[in-house]
Homo-oligomer: A and B are copies of this chain.
């Protein structure tokens, strides 16, 4: 089995913004599908894992683009496992045009948890370390974007509170990972998208939120980036994001 997987995509008309560029949330969805397929085909998919009481949990996702795919374009996502660090594995992505040149790249970090205890598992020993067979070292396949950034909130400002509804929830009853991306980008005034380009989007998933939770969005600008923190009613941090327009 090859170590690198290919996931073709097509930029559908209802998946583009007013600039004709694919929504970042849609790209995020494609990346997660590509990751799921890659795992599934190697026996590490959610279905197989659930039989053994394990499941993947997405911890970080960072996407950086030179250009966002345009309406009706065809492209391909390539994905591979960069490394395994006991409780975490890093999976990278190349987002390619039909001619093979890159729109951009993405990095993601995942943990495997036991569905009963909710504790992370040691990936190096789980299933006799089977996942290590699929690692593609950096020198073989590079992902030329910076690693996940750090969040340093000093005095973030509450900018919006929303209720969550039917469309926000996934099959596990959690607020859908992709929906957070939509809600976070909806915080920005339209002029940002009109005058600038969304170059980099990072998200760090901290804890689950559920249908009916109110989500509060706190924002802090620093060094040309916008950091966003999403909190539940309880004040607990659900996720954090870093958004860079250029």
Chain A residues in the interface with B (C-beta under 8 A): 12-14, 16-20, 23, 25, 29, 32-33, 36, 46, 71, 165-173, 176-178, 182, 185-186, 188, 190, 193, 211-212
Contact = CB atoms under 8 A, between A and B. Distances in A.
Given A20-B171, A167-B182, A167-B185, 13 more contacts: A13-B32, A14-B178, A16-B171, A17-B167, A17-B169, A18-B171, A18-B211, A71-B171, A166-B185, A166-B186, A166-B188, A167-B186, A190-B211
B170 A14 contact: yes
A171 B12 CA distance: 11
A129 to B, nearest CB: 27
Nearest to A23: B167
Nearest to A21: B171
Contact of A167 (B25, B32, B176, B211): B25
Which among A14, A25, A185 has the greatest number of chain B C-beta atoms within 10 A? A14
A2 B168 CA distance: 39
B17 A29 contact: no
Contacts of A19: 171
Q: Which 7 A-B pairs have the closest CB atoms?
A: A165-B186, A167-B182, A18-B169, A20-B171, A14-B178, A14-B29, A18-B173
